[in-house]
Amino acid sequence: MTLEEKRIFFEIDCTERKLWNFTEIFGNDNQVYLEIGSGMGEFLRMRALINHNRNFVGIEIKDKRLKQIINNLDVQRHSNVRVARLFVDDKVTEVIPEGSIKKVFINHPDPWPKKKHHKNRLIQPAFIDTLNRIMKRKGIVWIATDDQDYAKWIVDKFSVRPDFESMYEEGFSRDPEAGHIVTYFEEMKRKEGFPPYFLKFRKKCSLENIKPNLSEDKRIMKND
């Protein structure tokens, strides 16, 4: 099968911003797991084989990486995988329906280590609002980062929120869970001496139920 033929099968067309209908896309109503920033696609490829009764959507902004991901997918074995070339930000609600995602995986998001670049970090209060909107109740966000400062930043951003709870007592874990998939970036960073921080947050309730408290939290964070 050529790359072009695979693209037709695996890629969700994002030229037009319209809400994705997962039942139509996958031809079933299985739970949808989303990976943001799929990179070379190891996680998507392997996890989709393990959880064949789940639907996986991988989003990646770089076309070259997206082509690589698609090239390594197999139409039969990865029939539960789709990918999209998209820059994920607060506006992702234009394509991902509210309450449609059971799990979100963010493996090694760009850490933007310089303080003046922190505004570029994916995990921001407004983006956590967006996660809340697209996720089902009790849905889980899994994040892995090799950057200690970003790990602390993420814990801080989630810990002030009444709509998410950390599933780790200390806010993070240094131990991978059973069945953990080592991605390209994780392997690279481990070799450099930076093993990951694992973070896991469960959605407790939707935004509508906590709006007054949330704006209070935002005010507190802005004055930090």
Ligand X SMILES: C[S@@+](CC[C@H](N)C(=O)[O-])C[C@H]1O[C@@H](n2cnc3c(N)ncnc32)[C@H](O)[C@@H]1O
Interacting residues with ligand X between 154 and 213 (CB under 6 A)? 183-186
**Closest CB 204 distance from ligand X, rounded Å:** 25
- DSSP for 167-209, please give it: SSTTS-BSSPPTT----HHHHHHHHTT-PPEEEEEEE-S-GGG
The residue type found at 3 is L
d(CA 154, CA 171): 9
**Closest CB 150 distance from ligand X, rounded Å:** 11
> Is 110 one of the annotated active-site residues of the chain?
yes
**Closest CB 61 distance from ligand X, rounded Å:** 4
Q: Counting contacts by CB under 6 A, is residue 130 touching ligand X? A: no
Q: Counting contacts by CB under 6 A, is residue 145 touching ligand X? A: no
Among the listed residues 108, 161, 200, 203, the single contact to ligand X using CB under 6 A: 108
Q: Counting contacts by CB under 6 A, is residue 60 touching ligand X? A: yes
Q: What is each CA distance from 92 to 13, 31, 46, in whole angstroms?
A: 14, 19, 25
| CA 177 centroid distance within chain | 17
Cross-strand pairs, 166: 201
C-beta closer to ligand X: residue 107 or 132: 107
**Closest CB 140 distance from ligand X, rounded Å:** 17
Cross-strand pairs, 35: 58, 105
Q: Counting contacts by CB under 6 A, is residue 147 touching ligand X? A: no
Q: Which residue in the list 89, 90, 110, 149 is annotated as catalytic?
A: 110
**Closest CB 196 distance from ligand X, rounded Å:** 9
The DSSP 8-state label assigned to residue 11 in this structure reads B
Contacts of 216 (CB under 8 A, 6+ apart): none
C-beta closer to ligand X: residue 5 or 89: 89
Interacting residues with ligand X between 32 and 51 (CB under 6 A)? 36-40
Residue with tokens 């033929």: 5
Q: Counting contacts by CB under 6 A, is residue 14 touching ligand X? A: no
Contacts of 186 (CB under 8 A, 6+ apart): 107, 108, 144, 146, 196
Which sequence positions are flagged as catalytic? 110
**Which residues contribute to the site for ligand X (CB under 6 A)?**
36-40, 59-62, 65, 87-88, 107-108, 110, 122, 183-186
